[in-house]
Structure 1
Amino acid sequence: MRNSYRVHAALFFVALIYAANYSLSKDVMPRYMGPFGIVTLRIVGAALFFGIIHRIVAPQDKLVGRADNLRAIACGICGIGVNQLLFFSGLNLTSPISASLLQTIAPIVVVIASAILLSEKITLPRVLGIAVGAFGAGLLILSRNAQAAIYPHATLGNTFILANATVFGLYLVLVQPLMRKYHAFTVLARIFLVGAFIAVPFGWREALTADYGHFPLHIWLEIGYMVIFLTILAYLLNNWALKYASPALLGVYIYLQPVLAVLIAVSLGKDHLTWGKAGQAVLIFLGVWLVSRKPKAVAEPEVPLVAVQD
C-alpha cells in the first residue's frame, strides 16, 4: 500500500511539473531566450547528467547489436531532438491551454503506431476515438478567438504542438523494447546524447548569445526548473512509476495534466479558458478515452505517461 501511494505521488508530481511548464516557459520565451536555446540547455544538461549517472550506476550495461543501436538513434531523434524543438517552437507561438490540450493526442498516436509497427489490433471504438480526437484537435488548431492579437501565429504553433505529440507518440512505441531490455539510465544516456546532436546545431547560437547578465532571478529559476525538474526529475520519476502503474491509472494522469495546466495558466494570468476551448477539450478527451479502452480478449500493452514533454 505504501508503494501505491508513492506511485500516485510520482505520477501526480510528473503531471504537475509538465503542467507548470506551459506557463513558466512563456516568461522566458522569446524575451530572454529563443525556443531553440532553451531546448539546447535542457538536452545538453540532461545528456551530461544521464551520461555521468549511467557510468556510476550501470557502467557494464551497454546497447548491443545493430538493431538496438539504430532503435536508440530513432528514439533520440523522435523523442528528444525533434520532439523538443517542435514543442518549444509551438509553445512560443500559441497559448498554454491550447498546447496542453493538443499534447493529449499522443496516446492516439501510440495506438496507430502500435498497429503499424507492432501489429496491434485496432477496434471499431478505437477508430471512432481516432476520428473524434482528430476532429477536436483540428478545431483547436484552426480556431481563432479573442487572443488572436496576442498569438497571431497560433495556428502554426498549434500545428507544431500536434507534430510534437505525434513524434513523441511514435517514440513511446519505439522505446518500449529498449526499456524492457536495458537499464533505464543506459537508454536515457544514449537517446539524450543523440538528441543533443540534433538540437545543438539549431540552438547553440541562441544559447550562447542570450544576455545572461541581465536575467532577473525568476528567469534563472525558471530555466533551472526546465533543466532540472522538467527534463531530469520528470524522466526519473516517470520511468520509476511505469514499473508499477497500470494502464488505467496512467490514463487518469494523462487527463490530469491539461487540467492542471489550465488551472495554473488561468491563475497566473497567462491564458483564458473559453467555452470553445472547453468543447474542443471534451472532443479530444473523448477520443483519447475511446482509443485507450482495452479490446476484449486481447492483452493491451501499457500506455506510457505522456506529457512528456516536454
Structure 2
Amino acid sequence: MPKNIKVHSVLFLVALIYGANYSIAKIALGVYLEPFGFILLRITAATALFWIVSWLTGPDPIKDKKDFYLLMASALFGVATNQMLFFKGLSMTNPINGSVIMTTSPIMVMLVAYLLGREKLTVMKIVGVLVAAVGAYLLLTKDGISLNEGTFLGDLLILINGTSYAVYLVIVKPLMAKYTAITVIKWVFLFGIIFTLPFGYEQLSIVNWSVISTNGWLSIVYVIFGATFTVYLLNVWSLKHVNSSVVGIYIYFQPVISTIVAISFRGDELYLTTVAYSLLIMIGVYLVSRF
C-alpha cells in the first residue's frame, strides 16, 4: 500500500474511532459509571499502557526540572479539566451536538495562540471565528438557555472542554520539541491522575462492577484502548508522515461519523436546524484553518 494511502487510511480510522466514541461511551457513562469516575479509570488505565510502551521503547529522562511544571500544567488542561468536562458534558447532551461542538477546537487553538503572542490574526481568520461563533451560539441555544433542561449545559461544558484542550496544545508544544511524544504523554497522564483523583475517587469507589453488562464492559474497553490509547499512538505515527494541518482536516469527519452512529444505533434524531448550525461552525473552522 502506498504511504499516502496508508497515512490517510490511518487518519480516517482515527476519525472513525473518535466519531463512534460519542455514542459508545454513553453505553456505560451515567449507567454504570459516573463521568468523573469513568475519567479516573480511563486515565489510570491509559497511563499504565503509555508507561509500558515507554519502557519498551527505551529511556528518555526529563532533563530540566522546570519542565515538570509545564508537564503538570499540560496535565491540568489537557487531561484532567479537558476530559472531565468532556465526559460530564457528554452525559448531559447528545453525541451529535457533542461531536459538532468539538470541531471548534482548531479555532480555540488559534485564539489561545494569539492571546499568548504565538500567532497573528488575519481578516479571514476573524471572519471564520465570527461565523463559527454564530453557529456555536445557535446550536447551544436551540433548546433555550437552561441549566436544568435541554442540552445547553452539556454543550457548554464540551465547548469549555475544547478551550481547555486548546490551551494544552499550545503549552505542550515546547515539550514535544524536547522529548519524544510518548515521554511527554506518559508524564502528562501520570500527573492527570493526581488532578483527577479528588473528583473521581468517590464515584469510582462506589461502582458496582458485578452488574455491568457485556455491552457496558465493551464500552469501557473501547474508551480506554480505542479512543484513548490507540488513537493517540496512531496520531503520533501520522504526524511523522504528514503535517498537523492534514491531521486536523479529519476532524470534519467526526460529526458525520458520530451522526451516523447515533442515528443508526441510538435512534437519535437529526434536525435540519442542527445541520444548518453545524455547517456554519464547519465553514468558520475551515476559514480559520485555511487562511
* Fold conserved between structures, TM > 0.5: yes
Deviation for aligned residue 1:211: 1.2
Per the alignment, residue 37 of structure 1 pairs with 37
Task: Kindly indicate whether the alpha-carbon contact (under 8 Å) linking 2:67 and 2:175 is maintained by their aligned counterparts in 1.
Answer: yes
Q: Which 4+ runs in 1 deviate beyond 4 A? A: none
- Give the TM-score normalised by the residue count of structure 1: 0.89
2: distance between equivalents of 1:224 and 1:23? 14
Give the structure 1 partner of residue 158 of structure 2: 161
The amino acid across from 1:158 in the alignment is: D
Q: Distance in 2 between matches of 1:8 and 1:260?
A: 16
Could you give the per-residue CA deviations for residues 25-66 of structure 1, whole angstroms, max 9, x where no partner exists? Answer: 22112121111111011100011111222223131x122224
Residues in 2 aligned to 1:11 and 1:285: alpha-carbon distance in whole angstroms:
19
Equivalent residue for 1:298?
none
Q: Tell me what 1:114 maps to.
A: 113
C-alpha distance in 1 between matches for 2:278 and 2:31: 30
SS of 1:93's equivalent in the other structure is coil
Structure 1 residue 221, shift from structure 2 partner: 0.9
**How far apart are the structure 2 equivalents of 1:254 and 1:229?**
17
**Structure 1 residues 118-147: Cα deviation after superposition (integer angstroms, max 9, x where no partner):** 4311100001111111111111111118xx
Q: Across the two proteins, how many residue pairs are aligned to each other?
A: 289
- Give the match for residue 132 of structure 2: 133
**TM-superposed deviation, 1:157:** 0.5
| Cα separation, 2, equivalents of 1:119 and 1:183 | 22
**For residues 74 and 228 of structure 1, what CA distance do their matches in structure 2 show?**
25
**Residues 76-87 of structure 1: matches in 2 within 5 Å?**
76-87=75-86
Q: Structure 2: how far apart are the matches of 1:42 and 1:205?
A: 15
- Supply the distance in 1 between the matched residues of 2:200 and 2:189 (Cα, whole angstroms): 15
Cα shift at 1:249: 2.5
Counterpart of 1:291, as a letter, is: V
Per the alignment, residue 191 of structure 1 pairs with 188
**Distance in structure 1 (CA, Å) of the matches to 2:76 and 2:6:** 32
Q: Cα 1:15–1:114, aligned 2, differ >3 Å: closer, same or farther?
A: same
Give the alignment's TM-score, normalised by structure 2: 0.94
Deviation at 1:229, TM superposition (A): 0.8
* 1:58–1:183 CA contact under 8 A, matched in 2: no
CA distance in 1, matches of 2:236, 2:184: 11
Is 1:2 the counterpart of 2:17? The answer is no
Matched, 1:225 2:231: no
Question: Matched residues in 2 for 1:88 and 1:267: separation?
Answer: 22
Q: Secondary structure at the match of 1:268?
A: helix
Q: Separation in 2 of the partners of 1:204 and 1:270?
A: 33
1:286-306 per-residue CA deviation (whole Å, 9 max, x = no partner) reads: 110110114xxxxxxxxxxxx
Residues 42 and 227 of structure 1 are in contact (CA less than 8 Å); yes or no, is this contact kept in structure 2?
yes
1:161-195, Cα deviation, whole Å (9 max, x unpaired): 00001111111112222222211111011000111
In structure 1, distance between residues paired with 2:142 and 2:177: 41
Report SS of the residue matched to 2:88: helix
Superposition RMSD on alpha carbons, in Å?
A: 1.7
Name stretches of at least 5 consecutive residues in structure 1 with no aligned partner. Answer: 295-310
CA distance in structure 1 between the partners assigned to 2:267 and 2:177 by the alignment: 40
Counterparts in 2 of 1:291 and 1:245: CA distance versus 1, 3 Å: same
User: 5+ residue gaps in structure 2?
Assistant: none
Indicate the percent of aligned positions where both proteins have the same amino acid.
38
* CA distance in 1: counterparts of 2:18 and 2:274, whole angstroms: 20
Shift of 1:252: 2.8
1:264 has 2:288 as partner = no
Using the TM superposition, give the Cα deviation of residue 90 of structure 1 relative to its aligned residue in structure 2, in angstroms: 0.1
Q: Structure 2 counterpart of 1:125, which letter?
A: M
